[in-house]
Amino acid sequence: MSQPSPLRSDPVGPVRVAPVTPLTQYVLKLTSRCDLACDHCYVYEHPDQSWRGQPRVMTPATVETAARRIAEHAVAHRLDAVRVVLHGGEPLLAGVARVAATAGTLRRVIEPVARLDLRMQSNGLLLTPAMGDVLVAHDVKVGISLDGDRAANDLHRRHVNGTSSHAQVLRALTLLRRPAYRSVYAGILCTVDLANDPIGVYEALLAEEPPRIDFLLPHANWDRPPVRPEGVPTPYADWLLTIHRRWLADGRPVPIRLLESLLDGATATEAVGLGPADLVVIETDGSFEQVDSLKSAFHGAAATGLDVFRHEVDDAAAHPGIAVRQIGLAGLSATCQSCPVVGRCGGGLFAHRYRSGSGFDNPSVYCADLAQLVRSTATTSARVPSGPADTLSRTVLDDLGVGAGAEESVRHLASVHLGVVRALVVALSPTAAEDPLAAAGWALLVDLDVDAPDAVRTVLGHPFVRHWAQRCRTGASADLTYLANVAAAAAVHAGVDAQLAVAARDGVIHLPTLGAITLGVDVEAADLSVARGSIEVRAGGRRVRVRPTAPDGPVEWRPVRSVDGAVLLEDTDPYRDCFDLPVAPRLTPQETTRWRDQLRLALRRVDDHAPDYAPGLRTLLRAVVPLRPDPTGRSRSAAARTAFGAVAVTPAADAEALAVLLVHEVQHLKLDAILDVCDLFDRADPRTLRVPWRTDPRPVEGALHGVYAHLAVADVWRRRSDPTAQGHYRQYRDWTDGAIDALLDLETLTPAGDRFVRHMRATVDLWP
């Protein structure tokens, strides 16, 4: 049965429904006035006009009392951490001294009992260096509201006299990007408007380099439905999905909260998901209110009749209007309860469900859009994106088709590939939730993705993390608990303290990108803690402590070694067995020196003999995996689609030979990454074709790979003048030439594939 949920103000006092779910998030209304007059604002422009009776600024006594209530609630419920968001109106209108005093009071009263995550949501107009210094001093992370470029922002976010606020907002964002203030830059909040071009908005927001973006659907309900163009059933979903596609194609360069919540279902927000809405508002006069967005429903909708002077936070948590949003599925309408996507959607934002007569006992007024968003984002995340050619821009694809591709294009390809890895890892999260190790790893990774995104990128960009994730997805023997090791490695890179249980394999703990710790006891898991730059593991009575930055540690520590810090010489990662050839075991110190010297020299040879390819190769190549020598003495090399950025090679005859192998294999990596996101040929076409370098007919994909790699190898030999090199050049050029014709003749290429191959043709045609 759905809960009755028409809410009302209750002036007589609290109505307790047991048990109380503790509240961990507080919106503290520092001010009740604003220096903008945005026409979509739910505080001033919607039916609830209760702000008119509020004091302009919260007094120090109210701040002190509110802080004590929050602290006593944290103690009573043993909360480790609480979040307080300074809000308004516009909180910066309180002035530098009042903001400093408020933050100081909150930290003084709350921090002795719980970690305080102190934030502010602001329009940024009054964000001066002096105010920035206060925010840094008290570690108040600030989110700025911006709706896109100037034209987009000016649609709603204007001064009371109608003038633009855009330049002032950009000035605030410029300030927050400065190194001195970057630590308190929390992100950008953008309200969706269908009148704005979604890609234009996305690019404008991205240009401000926010650590996080959040999109807000315009406040509306069944009495005041949102603007909808006639004949378009899900315009808001369409708008957001345009951004979603581009965001995935860009490799998810910044967390977008709404999209990530829809993708993983684990990060419930107030807008979507079934997680408890454990949030209460404290108004400037100290009264407890429900979420602000309810003000868009009716006058008094957010009121509770409670205040910090007479009531505890428990009383507010027990208020029916707050309690009903904490009981998940049971608090939703009957329609939502039986909806197949309710797990991700959660009925949408509470305020969007309101209708006169039935109160909040309805699906969201954005129901159709939400359902479409859930379905589309789930489909995209559940598989490696393939097919839609718009995930790589035409410019980048054309540039890569020439052969080398500019460094920028290769960088873009790498970022698109990172999006593929993220989608794979995200798709593991529902299964991970069922395993304690993996679940803890996932939770840590999600936190780090917010606080230290570069560290997460470093680990997810490690070639063998994708191979591990893909093996988990296909049900191979890979171990889902390794997700904890992935997260632990990210914590080490982030330089943060962390504690979690990680997976061990044959008594060894592998940390991708870092190395392996030998425990010496046969266990499947160990307790790992990262603190002050050291890693300590304990299991089966054994305790090992290592310093990951040590070049070569004790016998228990086998760090991943690198060539000048740029390319890993990977001989420890358990998931490097993704090539068709046997990998070498851990190198001895002498072997390591030989490999390092030869690789260093080979990279210089690439610079000399393949100057067009060198920048892209150095951008893309993350790891070289030594292979066991081939029994016939031949040089062998390999690349794997599931290990982007890694090349495996047997010991090469010399640096020249190794340079050619690297160029050759990196072409395969590039083409694999392109094929992840673009259909270059008809995958259902079973035909094969003859290519000059093989006696057996090849499938289209194999031929395409051969052409792309040989194009690069021909270019390497072309630049050398010795007769042997010229002989090689002619052979590879002719192979490439012949296979390009065969590919074009087969008429199996897609339009994107046809363009790609014709760019290769143009390159060959320029050669002598």
Binding site for ligand SF4 (CB under 6 A): 335-336, 339, 341-342, 345, 347-348, 363-364, 367, 370-371
Rounded to the nearest angstrom, the gap between the alpha carbon of residue 522 and the centroid of all alpha carbons in its chain is 35
Query: For residue 480, how many other CB atoms are within 10 A of its CB?
Result: 22
Q: How far is the CB of 502 from ligand SF4 (least distance, A)?
A: 37
Q: How far is the CB of 350 from ligand SF4 (least distance, A)?
A: 11
| DSSP count for the chain of H helices, then E strands | 25, 23
Q: How far is the CB of 599 from ligand SF4 (least distance, A)?
A: 54
Q: How far is the CB of 194 from ligand SF4 (least distance, A)?
A: 19
Which of residues 66 and 341 has its CB atom nearest to ligand SF4 in the complex?
Answer: 341
Q: How far is the CB of 236 from ligand SF4 (least distance, A)?
A: 12
| Cα-based angle 547, 553, 557 (whole degrees, multiple of 5) | 80
Which of residues 346 and 385 has its CB atom nearest to ligand SF4 in the complex?
Answer: 346
CA-to-CA separations, 525 to 430, 478, 481, 504, in angstroms, rounded: 21, 15, 9, 5
Which of residues 258 and 713 has its CB atom nearest to ligand SF4 in the complex?
Answer: 258
Q: What is the dihedral of CA 248, 252, 257, 260, to 10 degrees?
A: 50
Which of residues 274 and 502 has its CB atom nearest to ligand SF4 in the complex?
Answer: 274
Which of residues 265 and 347 has its CB atom nearest to ligand SF4 in the complex?
Answer: 347
Which of residues 59 and 379 has its CB atom nearest to ligand SF4 in the complex?
Answer: 379
Only one residue has tokens 């839609």, namely 388
Which of residues 195 and 232 has its CB atom nearest to ligand SF4 in the complex?
Answer: 232
Q: How far is the CB of 341 from ligand SF4 (least distance, A)?
A: 5
Dist CA 511 CA 490 (whole Å): 9
Q: Are 659 and 613 within 8 A, CB to CB?
A: no
Which of residues 25 and 335 has its CB atom nearest to ligand SF4 in the complex?
Answer: 335
**Residues 6+ away with beta carbon under 8 Å from 207:** none
Q: Minimal CB distance to ligand SF4: which residue?
A: 339
Q: How far is the CB of 347 from ligand SF4 (least distance, A)?
A: 5
First-to-last alpha carbon distance for the chain, in angstroms, is 78
Q: How far is the CB of 324 from ligand SF4 (least distance, A)?
A: 15
Which of residues 255 and 273 has its CB atom nearest to ligand SF4 in the complex?
Answer: 273
Dist CA 193 CA 149 (whole Å): 12
97-103: long-range contacts, CB 8 A cutoff, minimum separation 24: 98/30, 98/57, 99/30, 99/131, 99/134, 99/135, 99/140, 100/134, 100/137, 100/138, 101/60, 101/63, 102/28, 102/30, 102/58, 102/60, 102/63, 103/134, 103/135, 103/138, 103/140
Which of residues 1 and 555 has its CB atom nearest to ligand SF4 in the complex?
Answer: 1
Q: How far is the CB of 353 from ligand SF4 (least distance, A)?
A: 8
Q: Are 450 and 211 within 8 A, CB to CB?
A: yes
Dist CA 212 CA 425 (whole Å): 19
Dist CA 584 CA 572 (whole Å): 10
Q: How far is the CB of 345 from ligand SF4 (least distance, A)?
A: 3
Which of residues 74 and 370 has its CB atom nearest to ligand SF4 in the complex?
Answer: 370
Q: What share of the chain is helix, strand, coil (3-state, %, to 5)?
A: 45, 15, 40
Residue 494 burial by CB count (10 A; 0-12/13-18/19+): exposed, middle or buried? buried
Structural tokens at position 41: 């604002």
Q: How far is the CB of 375 from ligand SF4 (least distance, A)?
A: 9
Q: How far is the CB of 331 from ligand SF4 (least distance, A)?
A: 12
Dist CA 2 CA 680 (whole Å): 50
Which of residues 371 and 439 has its CB atom nearest to ligand SF4 in the complex?
Answer: 371
Q: Are 518 and 507 within 8 A, CB to CB?
A: yes
DSSP string, 292-339: GGGGGTSTTTTEEEEETTT--HHHHHHSHHHHGGGSGGGGS-HHHHT-
DSSP string, 646-694: EEEEPPPSSHHHHHHHHHHHHHHHHHHHHHHH---B-TT---EE--TT-
Q: How far is the CB of 149 from ligand SF4 (least distance, A)?
A: 31
Q: How far is the CB of 259 from ligand SF4 (least distance, A)?
A: 16
Which of residues 371 and 662 has its CB atom nearest to ligand SF4 in the complex?
Answer: 371
**Residues 6+ away with beta carbon under 8 Å from 467:** 575, 576, 578, 640, 642, 643
Dist CA 606 CA 764 (whole Å): 20
Give the closest residue to 68 by CA, choosing from 118, 108, 14, 9. 108
Which of residues 256 and 336 has its CB atom nearest to ligand SF4 in the complex?
Answer: 336
